[in-house]
A and B are shown apart, each in its own frame.
Chain A
């Protein structure tokens, strides 16, 4: 390894990340070990109370709830997104860029606007209810807006393009002769998918899932708008500690715990991707 790489080209990005990412994170980490002042603010005496409070059943259950919603959103987004990516990768090559463009199109509008649109669709006088009633159903409809399902729908909708892109990449790189080889050796279409195509595209699935999970578990906009304050996700809890309860140390402790979960998952995903891509050539 004596080839020199222009590492200095990374320095602006590194400086930026250090100043606005690493240092703030360290500040939050430090904050988590201080006591809350009586009238808000921070009292600079060391304590473990904030971290202990994170594991209080009340808050732990909010963490579990958030993980459940993020996980469910991730699974649904992966199933829907993988199917879409598969269809796009199977389309004629010259049509694929256009299909991808349409898949990513919602990204180009504002996150809040997109989420508000779901309120319009789901509320009691909203489009879905109107359509169902226009079709002649006049029984009681279940509540759509301000439910856990509404939050999941909103999260899946918002992050689906990520998953489509993440799954499309490995699917489009597959040599079509590999699937043909499986067919040639006696595999049915389903067996070929299960034993050859799916294992070869696991890195895309893992990337897509972790993406949705990480972005969902800390999300506070979608639960606030579509969950309607019926339940809190961890993002809302942190938001409240900093902006309404004025308990910065506890908010910092919650944040650190959340960041730790995300880092763990991203590390796992990186390892999984490297392992699946079968990198590293051994000397023969």
Chain B
């Protein structure tokens, strides 16, 4: 097996008595688009700053191409960071901003000019090369920040909440744009984000961080369909949780009915929760191994789908049902209606309570 590009070995960082990063092991391969996903305070930004060289780990090793870089100064690492605030140099033009990193490498002027021009083309800002950053829109500044880091052709490009400051529509476009650029340059990207949708759309692999620890690492599909615990299930997407207790190998719900789960699920003993995604619930009980009935307490129309909130004795909080436009049009629903929904045993997940 080939050596991973980046290896974290039990990396820790403490600030006073607070452990911001608490023993993380992670391997990241060449050309991967990797996402560090976590809520604020999860340690994801501290981890990123250690990779860039702005923080030194309290313990552990950061290996890049097999060499420990934990104590290497930021200006001596083949790693570049795209800052959340973009941190463009306001007194320099766009072209000067992009050239700065190449000037630091003491490259000959003609090569610098050529690479800056190329990069301006990639980020589609050639016509604004002589502008200052404060004469650009947010989306344009974001592209300059990307170009300024990318032009150095780093081994590793770190992006701190790269799309956080953009509006929703632009964010969607830039997600695909970032993926395209990553593919074209064949540089490993590590994106820090709190936006799970962003992580799912862009990343080849996602690591979920919580309280400085690695909760789960895997492909977007694995993370979404097979969360390892209740927190991960709740953090990514929407999940309905039904309290159950295990009795004689069967799962008994609050109303005494039995819930069927797939063969592969390891059943914990005693109290547990069964979980099912809203889009796995279908109207009517006929086509499922499980069913539950409830009263519609709210509806939310989203255009491409209709979301129902069902009050059911199986759960203390209303459960969410996501109906496609087709299914919703087949049967008009109003608040107060009694509805039965069913789902397949293979779509049930079981977690410790």
What is the interface of chain A, defined by CB distance below 8 A to chain B? 175, 177-178, 180-188, 191, 195-196, 199-200, 276, 278, 281-282, 284
Contact = CB atoms under 8 A, between A and B. Distances in A.
Contacts of B89: 178, 181-182, 196, 200
A278 B52 contact: no
Contacts of A186: 75-76, 101, 104-105, 152
A185 B148 contact: yes
Nearest to B127: A284
A195 B91 CA distance: 10
Contact of A278 (B128, B132, B136): B132
Given A178-B88, A184-B149, 13 more contacts: A177-B83, A177-B87, A180-B54, A181-B88, A183-B73, A184-B75, A184-B80, A185-B152, A186-B101, A191-B104, A196-B89, A200-B89, A282-B135
A37 to B, nearest CB: 57
11 contacts: A177-B87, A183-B73, A183-B75, A185-B100, A186-B104, A186-B152, A187-B75, A200-B89, A276-B91, A278-B91, A278-B132
A180 B132 CA distance: 20
B91 A199 contact: yes
Determine chain A's interface SS by DSSP, over half rule: helix
B336 interface: no
B177 interface: no
Closest 5 CB pairs of A and B: A186-B104, A185-B101, A181-B87, A177-B87, A183-B74
Interface in B75-131: 75-76, 79-81, 83-85, 87-91, 100-101, 104-105, 128, 131
Interface of B: 52-54, 73-76, 79-81, 83-85, 87-91, 100-101, 104-105, 128, 131-132, 134-137, 148-149, 152
Instruction: Kindly name the residue among B100, B132, B136 whose own CB sees the greatest number of chain A CB atoms within 10 A.
Output: B100
A282 B81 CA distance: 29
Nearest to A199: B91
A188 B103 CA distance: 12
Nearest to B85: A177
A200 B74 contact: no
A278 B90 contact: yes
B91 A180 contact: no
Nearest to B78: A186
A282 B128 CA distance: 12
Nearest to B52: A184
A180 B137 CA distance: 23
B50 to A, nearest CB: 13
Contact of B91 (A177, A200, A282): A200
B290 to A, nearest CB: 51
Instruction: Kindly name the residue among B53, B134, B148 whose own CB sees the greatest number of chain A CB atoms within 10 A.
Output: B134
Nearest to B134: A278
Instruction: Kindly name the residue among B80, B104, B128, B152 whose own CB sees the greatest number of chain A CB atoms within 10 A.
Output: B104
Nearest to B106: A186
A180 B87 contact: yes
Contact of B134 (A180, A196, A281): A281
Contacts of A185: 75, 80, 100-101, 104, 148-149, 152
B163 to A, nearest CB: 17
Contacts of B83: 177, 180-181
A184 B85 contact: no
Nearest to B89: A196
Contacts of A195: 100
Contacts of A200: 89-91
A3 to B, nearest CB: 22
A195 B97 CA distance: 11
A177 B161 CA distance: 14
Instruction: Kindly name the residue among B84, B89, B131 whose own CB sees the greatest number of chain A CB atoms within 10 A.
Output: B89
A19 to B, nearest CB: 41
Nearest to B152: A185
B91 A184 contact: no
Contacts of B101: 185-186
